[in-house]
């Protein structure tokens, strides 16, 4: 793979657009319908005591739509953007992603541990690795077990001359066996705690495919989940 070179077939892009138009119509209709209902309540009961609650719910709906649109943009950019290889410092990339979650991690009292072993140069696409790590950490945060006294996320990176292994594990609620084959599907939500766009793991799988990487999953209900992403360590 050459630095910054990746041909994208026009038919592939057109197919992606059509698929998204079809799939997203339902996903966008749901929060819009919710906001319309809330607006009707506020219209006919402007001084009602539940107006503040309606506003909060509308804010949640708009945030959901914004997150969905942002995830769609990330997916389309991944489909069109050339693979750009560069020398990446693993520790800097991982801590940069974790910093974006710092407020949420503190609020939910989630402890994070990093284990980084980089014995050689890591030649990869930092933007795509950043997206993968961001979505895996977001998933680990979302599916923490509220009944556990200690909530934990562990991020491991092992870089060798031939490949890199990025792992994100948690001690959350785990994934049922019958859902594990479906979690990488577009808009699949396999748990009541899911509040995301339903695109995170779908995007992870597509990025992995783009980078000739392999994603593996190990999960046990009420014990936790581990995602591993093994990627070739390219040469410039």
Same-domain check for residues 75 and 99: no
Distance CA 69, CA 114 (A): 31
41 part of a folded domain: yes
- Domain carrying residue 68: 10-80
Distance CA 8, CA 79 (A): 8
* Cα angle, residue 56 at apex, residues 23 and 106 outer, rounded to 5°: 90
Query: Any idea how long the chain is?
Result: 236
Same-domain check for residues 53 and 95: no
> Reduced to 3 states, what is the DSSP secondary structure of residue 151?
strand
pLDDT for res 159: 97
Give the single-character DSSP code of 182. Answer: T
Distance CA 235, CA 162 (A): 9
Asked whether residue 190 carries a pLDDT value surpassing 90, the answer given is no
- The enclosing domain of 25 has a CATH number of 1.10.287
Structure tokens at 144: 């923490």
Contact present, 226 and 169 (Cβ < 8 Å): yes
Q: Mutual orientation of helices 126-142 and 200-210 as an angle, nearest 10°?
A: 150
Asked whether residue 197 carries a pLDDT value surpassing 60, the answer given is no
Same-domain check for residues 73 and 90: no
Asked whether residue 204 carries a pLDDT value surpassing 60, the answer given is yes
Asked whether residue 156 carries a pLDDT value surpassing 80, the answer given is yes
pLDDT in tens, 40-89: 776 666 666 677 676 777 777 677 777 777 777 777 777 778 889 999 99
Which of 44, 60, 80 terminates a domain? The answer is 80
């Amino acid at each position: 793979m050459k630095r910054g070179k990746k041909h994208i077939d026009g038919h592939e892009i057109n197919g992606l657009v059509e698929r998204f138009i079809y799939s997203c119509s339902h996903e966008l209709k749901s929060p819009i319908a919710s906001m319309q209902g809330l607006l009707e309540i506020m219209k006919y009961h402007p001084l009602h005591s539940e107006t503040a609650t309606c506003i909060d719910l509308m804010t949640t709906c708009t945030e959901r739509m914004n997150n969905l649109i942002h995830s769609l943009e990330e997916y389309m950019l991944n489909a069109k953007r050339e693979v750009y290889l560069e020398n990446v410092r693993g520790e800097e990339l991982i801590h940069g992603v974790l910093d974006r979650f710092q407020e949420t991690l503190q609020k939910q009292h989630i402890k994070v541990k990093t284990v980084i072993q980089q014995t050689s140069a890591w030649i990869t696409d930092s933007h795509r690795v950043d997206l993968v790590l961001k979505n895996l950490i977001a998933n680990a945060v979302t599916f923490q077990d509220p009944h556990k006294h200690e909530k934990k996320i562990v991020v491991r990176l092992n870089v060798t001359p031939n490949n890199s292994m990025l792992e994100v594990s948690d001690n959350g609620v785990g994934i049922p066996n019958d859902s594990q084959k479906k979690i990488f599907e577009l808009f699949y939500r396999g748990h009541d705690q899911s509040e995301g766009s339903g695109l995170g793991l779908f995007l992870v799988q597509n990025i992995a495919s783009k980078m000739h990487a392999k994603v593996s999953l190990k999960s046990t209900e009420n014990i936790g989940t581990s995602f591993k992403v093994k990627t070739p360590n390219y040469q410039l």
